[in-house]
Structure formats: C-alpha cells, structure tokens
Amino acid sequence: MTKIPQANPLAENMELISEISDSINRVVSTGHYIQGSEVESFEREFSDYIGTAFAIGVASGTDAIKLGLCALGVASGDEVITVSHTAVATVAAIEQCGATPVLVDIDPSTFTMDVGKMQRSITAKTRAIIPVHLYGHPADIDLILQVANQYGIDVLEDCAQAHGASCKGKRVGGWGRLAGFSFYPTKNLGAIGDGGMIVTNDPDLAGKIRLLREYGWNNRRVSEISGFNSRLDELQAAILRVKLKHLDKQNELRRSFANVYTHSLSDCVGTPIEKPDAFHVYHLYVIRSLWRDQLRAFLAESEIGTGIHYPFPVHRQPAYAGLGMNNSLRLTEQAANEILSLPLYPQMTLEQVEHVAGKIREYFHKHALRSSKP
C-alpha cells in the first residue's frame, strides 16, 4: 500500500469504528437482516438530507439507475442521452433496460455534460437524459431541465459521486424526476460493501420502484409486476446511518484540502473549478496535465497513489464499441489522456496534502517545465 493512497475508506471506517460496531451489533441482535427498520430509517433520513419526499434503498448505484429507468418506462427502442466520460455503470444500466445509450461530449471545465451537444442529440426516440454529477461537481442541471422540459423528456440524475453537492442551494438528487446514488466504499458516503439509493418526489414512481426492487411483490408477496432482486441490506443501512451524520463535516474537509491543492498547483497544472452557483464536494480532486503519465510515475516513486477516472471513455471500450459514433467526443477523449486524480479523503492531514502538492511542484521544477496545462 502506498504511504499516501489516492483513496482510503479503511481510514474512515477506523475513525468511526466504535459507532459502526454499535450499529452492526444492533442489527445482529434483532435477527432481522433484510428490508427492516434500519433500511426504513435510513431511507427516511437520506430523503430528508437530499430534500426529496421519498428514498428507496437498492443493492447498488447501477441498480439505482436501472430501476429508475424501468420505473420511467424506458425500454427497447428508446434512447437515453448521457456522457461517455463516466463510470461504465451509467451506460450499463441503460443497456440493461434494453434502451440505446446516446453519448455526448463534456464541458471541459467541469467534465460534465455539454448541454448544447445534449440538445442537438435529442430525437423522437429520446426517452430520458442522465446527467452525471462527476467528481462531486454538479452538472448544469438547471439548464438541462429547462431543455428536457421543452421536449417532455424525463431527467434521471446520476449522483454516484456527489453526495451533498448542490446547485443554487438545492442538493443534487432533488432536481430531476428521479436520482440514483451509489454507496460503494470509496464514495463520500460509502458502505462497507455495496448499496444504492433512488430518490424522487413522485409517489407513483416511488411505489413502482419499491415493487421493482423485490420481484414486484405487494404486501402479500404476490408479484404485481415483473421485478428484480435489488435490496439494500440492514447491516449496510445501519452503517450508512452512522456515516450520514458525519457527511457534511467530511465534505468540508475535502473542500478545505482541495483549496490547498488549487492554491499550490494552479500555476502548473489544470485544477478543478467550482462554478458560481455550484457546491463541489470533491469526491475526486482531478488535475489535467500534458505530462500526466510521467507525473504519475514520479509520484508513485514517492509512494503517492493516484488514479485515472477514467482512462478509457465508455465508447472506447470493447463492450461498447460503436456507441457515440454519431457525435464528436473529442473533448472526452482529450480529457482521458490528461486527467489524474490526486489523494483526497477526509482522514488525510494537511501535511500530507502539502507533501503531495510539493512533490508535484518538484516534478515541474526538476524538468524545467513551467506549466503543463492543456
């Protein structure tokens, strides 16, 4: 393990180990491990946090998107617009509904959906739009909704990396008809395992998703519709309830460390921005450099971990070859060659952040490179 890993969920879990252990013991002692009071309580607390009327726990972030699309009626023959610069899960969920993903390019300043290119991709087959709030920065959700409403198209927000982020003072997840969250262990709100959540203000959609997540069962365990097995278990819900109480404080730590990086590095690499109406929660701190691979190797020699999110756009991966061919994805492909995720997690120390920044500056001084901004 590197001395300073890029992400460190173990450090968070150990920091909260007493509270987490109490929550696990509480669940074990009940003898009820699936779809119980912990899930119900977490759903209520999470919907209150996001500001929506309903929250429905599911097995993963991928399932959150899939079930959300199914609840909207997305099916074979439909098109769903999203980006190629995202985790494969976004596109995989669209295909699992039988729909066709339509991939559009990004705004290079935020790495999120280019709204103009989104609008030009709308056709008579477009059934939904999935903006991805990537790296913790909101997509231009207000404008996306304005365009979508003009065409009568549903918006499902992918909030897998944006727990607590907001736009114009309103948390992401509360803008579209539906939103999906992931609780993968490295997320700002991460389980010790997997899990996901769908949020909505629509009671009919909430009811349909509750059926879809468990075989279409009603209260008598009779399948009213064809459904899935996608349940958030009691243990994960109990752990996430503990962590939700600390989320805002941990997001503020991420923001403070991000500010240190930006102040130190903005003259030598491309650093993240925060748009005026946005609240960035820095799930990832992503820089851009023309010397990305060389810089990454240099940091590895100093036992500093980094990541690339994502090295291959979805349309450049074998399983999805051919997607996005009708649109230019030049900025997406350029970003994939230049991005680098630096270490950032709430349990870092200021000294560690400054050490990472110092090593990056050392690299550019050593190679007499004034700047490597794209």
For the chain, how big is the Rg over CA atoms in Å?
21
Do the domain assignments include residue 184?
A: yes
CA pair distance 279, 170, nearest whole angstrom: 9
Q: Are residues 215 and 75 part of one domain?
A: yes
Q: Are residues 116 and 29 part of one domain?
A: yes
Q: Residue holding tokens 């946090």?
A: 49
Q: Are residues 273 and 200 part of one domain?
A: no
Do the domain assignments include residue 189?
A: yes
- The number of helices, as runs of H, and strands, as runs of E, in the chain is 13, 12
Helix, strand, or coil (residue 261): helix
Helix, strand, or coil (residue 287): strand
CA pair distance 208, 286, nearest whole angstrom: 37
Q: Are residues 217 and 359 part of one domain?
A: no
The amino acid sitting at 30 is T
pLDDT tens by residue, 170-227? 999 999 999 999 999 999 999 999 999 999 999 999 999 999 999 999 988 999 999 9
Helix, strand, or coil (residue 164): coil
Q: How many structural domains does the chain have?
A: 2
Residue 357 has pLDDT above 60, yes or no: yes
Are the C-beta atoms of 101 and 158 separated by less than 8 Å? no
Q: What is the pLDDT of residue 327?
A: 81
Q: Are residues 305 and 235 part of one domain?
A: no
Do the domain assignments include residue 333?
A: yes
Q: What is the pLDDT of residue 175?
A: 98
User: Which residue pairs from 146-149 have beta carbons closer than 8 angstroms and sit at least 24 positions apart in sequence?
Assistant: 147/115, 147/118, 147/119, 147/122
Are the C-beta atoms of 302 and 2 separated by less than 8 Å? no
State the residue range of the domain holding 161: 9-104+111-244
Q: Are residues 192 and 231 part of one domain?
A: yes
Q: Are residues 320 and 190 part of one domain?
A: no
Do the domain assignments include residue 181?
A: yes
Q: Are residues 256 and 173 part of one domain?
A: no
Are the C-beta atoms of 131 and 162 separated by less than 8 Å? no
Q: What is the pLDDT of residue 345?
A: 98
The tokens for 271 are 């650093």
Do the domain assignments include residue 3?
A: no
Q: What is the pLDDT of residue 372?
A: 60
CATH number at residue 326: 3.90.1150.10
CA pair distance 316, 276, nearest whole angstrom: 33
The more confident residue out of 41 and 374 is: 41
Q: Domain ends where: 244, 265, 283? A: 244
Do the domain assignments include residue 213?
A: yes
Q: How many residues does the chain have?
A: 374
pLDDT tens by residue, 28-61? 999 999 999 999 999 999 999 999 999 999 999 9
* Cα distances (Å, whole numbers) of residue 291 to 143, 287, 294, 368, 374: 34, 11, 6, 12, 9
Q: Could you give phi then psi for residue 233, rounded to 5 degrees?
A: -80, 165
What's the angle, vertex CA 262, arms to CA 256 and CA 268, rounded to 5?
A: 160
Q: Are residues 26 and 130 part of one domain?
A: yes
Q: Domain ends where: 217, 244, 271? A: 244
- pLDDT confidence band for 367 (50 / 70 / 90): confident
Do the domain assignments include residue 230?
A: yes
Q: Domain ends where: 244, 260, 293? A: 244
- pTM tops 0.85: yes
Are the C-beta atoms of 67 and 209 separated by less than 8 Å? yes
CA 304 from centroid of its chain's CA atoms:
24
Largest CA distance in the chain: 71
Do the domain assignments include residue 374?
A: no
Packing angle, helices 88-96 and 61-71, rounded to 10: 40
Q: Are residues 99 and 76 part of one domain?
A: yes
Q: Are residues 167 and 24 part of one domain?
A: yes
CATH number at residue 218: 3.40.640.10
Q: Which helix (H) or strand (E) holds 166?
A: strand 166-167
Residue 369 has pLDDT above 70, yes or no: no
Q: What is the pLDDT of residue 325?
A: 75
The tokens for 368 are 């007499």
Residue 374 has pLDDT above 80, yes or no: no
Q: Are residues 253 and 140 part of one domain?
A: no
